[in-house]
Chain A
Amino acid sequence: MDLIEKFISNAEEAAATVKIIRANANSLNDALIAATENELVLFAGPDDLDPELFSIFISNKNVITKPTKEQLSIISTGVTDAFCAVASTGSVCVSITKNLSSPVSMLTQKHIVVIDSRTIIPRPRDIFSENYLEGKGLKRSFSIITGPSATADMGPLVRGVHGPGKLHIIIIDSFDEMHVR
């Protein structure tokens, strides 16, 4: 199994949903529109992916790029990018930076995350290795997100606690189209 396939199967096992698309702004817009169902959406400008890819999507009027405090507290869908993903666990890594990716990915109930297929690494430990991602993982703050937020504290397993109950991952398969920084 190659890394992408492995990633998809493990992300699904962790209760995320996954879609793989081509690397262009049109495909990404279509995929995001399908996933956000025209609801109000918080969008945190990408930390690592090429902003060009999102250019069509952010022109939709339901997309909010500079939220007020109130909007941050109540809007239930959020879109961010991730700087890498992990094949063996189906995880995505969202940075904590000056951008709002982190709050958008934790305050909402549905988190849609966009990753570049070339940043899928084999195992979680590789995030902390200089040999992968040019050592990016060693230089920043981030959350490794594996599936939706969950608890078994109330007895049975429940998804959607303090964080999103839904995690949707869009993989930009950019091996043939070089739109990514």
Chain B
Amino acid sequence: MENINDYILHPRQVADKSSKETLQKAIKLALDVETDALRLNTQTFNTNRYRAVKRLDDYEELKNRARLIKEKSIKNLIPLISKVTKAIEARGGKVFYAKTKEDATAYIKKICLSREAKLVVKSKSITSEEIGLNSDLEKAGIEVAETDLAEFILQVSKEQPSHNVAPAIHRSRESISELFKRNFKTEKKLDTGEELTEFARDILRQKFLKADIGISGANFVAAKEGSILLVESEGNIRLTTQLPAVHIAIAGIEKIIPSKKDFGVFIELLAASGTGQPLTSYTNIIEPPLDLPVLNLNGRNDGKREFHLVLIDNGRMQMRDDEELKEALYCIRCSACMNSCSNFQTVGGHAFGGECYTGGIGGAWTVATTGSLEKARFAELCTGCSRCIPNCPVLIDIPRLNTTIKNRLIKADGGASLQKLFFGNFSKLGKYSSIVPTLTNFIVSLSISKLLMEKIVGLDKRRPIPRFANKTLKRQYKLYRKSNSIQISDVFKKGLVLFADVFTNYNNPQVGMATVRVFDKLGIPIKLSKIIEDGRAAQSQGLIESARQSAIKLAGYLEEIIDSGKEIIVAEPSVLALFRYDYKKLINNDYLFSKLEKHTYDPIEYLNKLLNHSELDLTGKIEIKKLNSDKIFYHAHCQLKTIGAGNTALEFFNKLGFIVEISNVECCGMAGSFGYKKGYYDISKNIGNELIKQIKKVATRDSKKVILASGTSCREQLRDELEETIYHPIEYLEKILK
């Protein structure tokens, strides 16, 4: 990996993502010099988070409560603002409502100047980056010392934050050592974390002892008591807010919640979801101006403590009126959505982020606080894999926000690109190909067509284009049923319908047929559905209207099936997740949605359920030879995990007696069409290689490695690099069933 300190581009040069070219440059920068540190650090947070939330025995309930409090607070924002103002003024503090960022910085500057401040110590505040506070104060001749060590690093390197909890997460210890050695002409050794920390601490301790004013952010503001909650690990927030006599806290208006009692719901959730700790070193609850006597360690003779709360609107009120993006106001900035995102782990916030807001949630915030849709173009890096959703402590549908931004960008760009139309209408291509599949496959495999596809549609020519099957599932099923009539069983009278999704029908009919044959063998009647567009492809390209139309039409058909007493099997996980998650918002009919949610299954998930209810007995039905020879590696599709069916194949094959090792990546990196696109091929491969590394390491000794992946795109990603056959779990089950 190249060195970030010598790289041809500075991250600041690619912070504003208004143009597609800048986004591409930012991705290249990240892949060239940042991925190693990013991946190590975000994955550590992610692993710790999984462990920490397991320790919260009421995690799911806490999330629901947190969500409700945030919903209520945003709804009652205006009365809450008056309430907090009253509470703080009653104690002698001041509250300033800043409509714009200019209002905010002007107010803060005025206070600093009137107190003749020369040095301000500041603790981490992304909101202060949003309003451009430092440069405004510096222009007025006031020195600003960033005291959070990550912010201190960024102040030296002049970079923008790459993560909202650990803003210098893209930097390795080595790159920091080098940066400091170049920047501070010092004899001190700066080669370990301890040496670097001590060096920075000593510089900053002097700043603390001299500072005239302290400026902090706020994690939460309790309206009733005017109480502020600030979370940290280093201790710099305590010094910032308690050493100087004057404390200014900057808080977005969305940080206000009704009362101190609500802190209880958030503190454990925030620490667990963020750094993955039960609590960080310091959770500070302050009601300033504090009773603590003024210490005047700076040599001043300040008589009493002074406190200002600067409430920032800067687009938030408008965001509150935006039915689609409003949800982002619930964000408590824990960073779980970044740490659990494969794309973010790979490129971080310098590519997947803007001038200060990063990651999946950063797009909506960039739109709201800059007023520019284009600056949020990095939302394109959200593949919709959905892995962040279950990890968000306030249950924000993050991919949905990004789909909205993509959709608005399409309109702003004057219509969908050929690429988006190509993927968004994949089923039409499928239909055409099904008439002459060999010809289509032949044409797309020609190098000249690949070149054209790359030039015109933007498909990366290094990526094999998905092949269309010679015979669609629909045809194969018809032929098969001619000689194999549907089994009638006493137990499963009503039976199942296999949904013929686009991918299974045109690209992977063998998976559909395996499903049919397995269920036939087990005596469970199964039929094939009609072929109806589901909207998945359109939705992932941001073509929301088209996705909605498909969804409404298909949901009606699925309802008829369910009402006839049948269950629906979906072999393609991205389509199953569509029915069980995305349709909630697409069809906007809770009654129908809850039916879909209850009656659609992944094939293995369905069989596993039967096993659990003792409605199916597989004893004696499995090939003993396979059981003794095969070792399974299973990669669960990202969206399958999110809808809670990620582990069922593991459970199922374990129950049959197999040893199963599971992948530890959140997503394979292909994420539907993402990995085919020219601008994203390198990220996609970079992520895929993580998974492939893990598969190659699986120790097999005398057994045979069998690789299972339920998603079409996961299998494509793996096939690109591996010799072995990659099976859908149901295909493998067919092989081992006697």
Contact = CB atoms under 8 A, between A and B. Distances in A.
Most buried by B among A89, A146, A161, A162: A162
Most buried by A among B239, B285, B288: B285
Interface stretch (B192-200, B456-464, B549-557): B192-200
B201 interface: yes
Contacts of B194: 158
Nearest to A106: B238
Contact of A150 (B201, B281, B286): B281
A124 B264 contact: yes
Contact of B238 (A150, A152, A155, A163): A163
Given A102-B242, A129-B264, A154-B176, A144 B295 contact: no
Interface residues on A, range: 35 or more
Nearest to B224: A138
Contacts of B55: 88
Contacts of B544: none
Interface in B295-345: 295-297
Nearest to B41: A152
A141 B225 CA distance: 11
A125 B196 contact: no
Interface stretch (B229-237, B427-435, B436-444, B527-535): B229-237
A143 B267 CA distance: 12
A74 B174 CA distance: 31
A145 B149 CA distance: 19
B264 A96 contact: no
Given A69-B297, A97-B291, A145-B282, A153 B149 contact: yes
A141 B287 contact: yes
Interface string B144-179: 000111100100000000000010100011101000
Nearest to B196: A154
A98 interface: yes
Nearest to B241: A96
Interface string B189-228: 0001110110011001100110000000000000001010
Contacts of B225: 138
A10 B278 CA distance: 9
Given A73-B297, A96-B292, A128-B261, A143 B284 contact: yes
A124 B281 contact: no
A152 B295 contact: no
Interface residues of B, number: 61
B562 interface: no
Given A106-B238, A138-B261, A141-B290, A125 B267 contact: yes
Interface string A89-118: 111000011101011001100000000000
A140 interface: yes
Contacts of A91: 279, 283
Nearest to A127: B264
B25 interface: no
Contacts of B150: 153
B235 A106 contact: yes
Given A103-B242, A151-B234, A162-B204, A146 B173 contact: no
A98 B234 CA distance: 24
B149 A154 contact: yes
A146 B261 contact: no
B268 A123 contact: yes
A149 B285 contact: no
B371 interface: no
B453 interface: no
Contact of B260 (A106, A128, A148): A128
B233 A144 contact: no
Contacts of A107: 239
A97 B286 CA distance: 10
Contacts of A100: 292-293
Given A97-B292, A103-B292, A124-B279, A153 B267 contact: no
B292 A153 contact: no
A133 B282 CA distance: 20
Contacts of B282: 143-146, 149, 163
A98 B201 CA distance: 27
Nearest to A13: B278
A165 B726 CA distance: 51
A145 to B, nearest CB: 6
B173 A149 contact: no
A102 B238 CA distance: 9
Contacts of A106: 235, 238-239, 242
Contacts of A140: 287
B2 to A, nearest CB: 18
Contacts of B284: 142-144
B470 interface: no
B380 to A, nearest CB: 30
Contacts of B235: 106, 149, 161-164
B280 interface: yes
Interface string B78-102: 0000000000000000000000000
Nearest to A140: B287
B278 A141 contact: no
A34 interface: no
B606 interface: no
A98 B279 contact: no
A4 B552 CA distance: 58
B176 A150 contact: no
Contact of A89 (B193, B260, B279, B290): B279
Given A149-B233, A161-B197, A161-B201, A144 B283 contact: yes
B727 interface: no
Nearest to B293: A98
28 contacts: A10-B278, A88-B278, A96-B242, A96-B290, A103-B295, A124-B279, A129-B261, A129-B264, A141-B291, A143-B284, A143-B285, A144-B267, A147-B281, A149-B281, A152-B166, A153-B153, A154-B149, A154-B153, A155-B172, A155-B176, A158-B193, A162-B147, A162-B205, A162-B234, A162-B236, A162-B238, A162-B239, A163-B234
* 7 tightest A-B CB contacts, nearest first: A163-B235, A155-B173, A125-B264, A128-B264, A162-B235, A153-B149, A149-B235
